[in-house]
Amino acid sequence: MGVAVVTFPGSNCDYDCYKALREVVGVEASFVWHRERSLGDARAVVLPGGFSYGDHLRAGAIARFSPVMEAVIEFAAAGGPVLGICNGFQILCEAGVLPGALVRNDSRQFRGETVRVRVETSDSLFTRDYEPGRILRLPIAHGEGGYVADEATLDRLEAEGRVAFRYVDARGRTTPEANPNGSARGIAGILNEARNVLGLMPHPERAVEAVLGSTDGLPLFTSLARALEANGRGAPAARLRRGDGAGEAVEAVVR
């Protein structure tokens, strides 16, 4: 199967992710419906953006209990690569796969625009093709994108280099004006402890071709593709922790 793109009722970026993976990067990808209880032979998983279950109760709160999520949680715990974009990030936090939560934008308005984010680490299979410090232009489209966590969690994310992306201005500064949703410390994306799960609010799949106005999201998908290729088609997903091609087994702790 290659990469499983999970579709929930209300997903609207599943095809964008599918196209970015299959047509732009050339990675095998298939859709998996939320009612499925198995990911089959998937070697990576993408939870796309959208409004799963209409964002009732809270963004991602119902999707977290979809039948497929038990398989996703087990897959992540075994070290399998999992990417959550926008609503996918919200779902991963609701499921406890990633720490913290996404809350209503501080403006109390839906924000749909292009923002700048800075790459904070290349030490993951999702960001290996980026240079740390590179400033990207990526689209956002969310009403509940403010990342929050207690200070101890935020300090741990910073100390462990698990902040993957941060909102910045054109000069690379973290300012209130550059932060579109009030996220703590300008955080736009984070990794889990094992670095095999990434959640981010911006949409890299909408910035993979020049015709879309930016290709700044493309390295995220080429990073994943290179990691999968380096480990070979027969390699179990649990061995795909980092993008260094080593294929070393890991004991993934998902928090």
Instruction: Spot the catalytic one: 86, 93, 94, 120.
Output: 86
Answer yes or no: is 184 within a domain.
Answer: yes
Look at residue 238 and tell me whether its pLDDT is greater than 50.
Answer: no
In this prediction, residue 11 carries a pLDDT of 96
- Are 204 and 220 in contact by the 8 Å Cβ rule? The answer is yes
Read off the tokens for 13. 């970026």
Q: Is residue 244 part of a domain?
A: no
Domain holding 30: CATH number?
3.40.50.880
Give the residue-averaged pLDDT of 71-85.
97
Q: Calculate what percentage of the chain has a pLDDT beyond 70.
A: 90
pTM over 0.85: yes
| pLDDT, tens digit, 9 for 90 and up, residues 125-172 | 999 999 999 999 999 999 999 999 999 999 999 999 999 999 999 999
Whether 199 shows a pLDDT value over 80: the answer reads: yes
User: What is the average pLDDT across 87-103?
Assistant: 97
Active site residue 205: yes
Which one of 120, 142, 144, 203 is the catalytic residue? 203
Other Cβ atoms within 10 Å of 110 Cβ, number: 13
Is residue 194 included in any domain, yes or no? yes
**CB-based contact 98:190 (threshold 8 Å):** yes
Catalytic residue among 94, 120, 144, 205: 205
Q: What is the pLDDT of residues 59-76, one digit of tens each?
A: 889 999 999 999 999 999
Rounded to whole angstroms, how far apart are CA atoms 193 and 240? 14
Give me the domain span that covers residue 202.
2-239
How many domains are there within the chain? 1
What is the rounded average pLDDT of the residues 67-95? 97
- Structural contact between residues 49 and 6, judged by C-beta atoms closer than 8 angstroms: no
Structure tokens belonging to residue 236: 């179990």
What does the mean pLDDT of the chain come to? 90
For the segment 96-121, the average pLDDT, to the nearest whole number, is 97
* Residue 249 located in a structural domain: no
CA angle centred on 119, ends 158 and 27, rounded to 5°? 115
Would 252 be classed as within a structural domain? no
Q: Which of 118, 135, 125 is nearest to 223 (CA)?
A: 125
Q: What is the pLDDT of residue 152?
A: 98
Residue 1's pLDDT is 63
Residue 193 lies in a domain: yes
| Residue 246 is assigned to a structural domain of this protein | no
Residue 74 annotated in active site: no
Residue 67 lies in a domain: yes
For 2-54, write each residue's pLDDT tens digit. 999 999 999 999 999 999 999 999 999 999 999 999 999 999 999 999 999 88
pLDDT of amino acid 57: 83
Vertex 124, ends 105 and 206: CA angle to 5°?
50
DSSP 3-state of 252: coil
Percent of the chain with pLDDT over 90: 86
Mark whether 203 is an active-site residue: yes
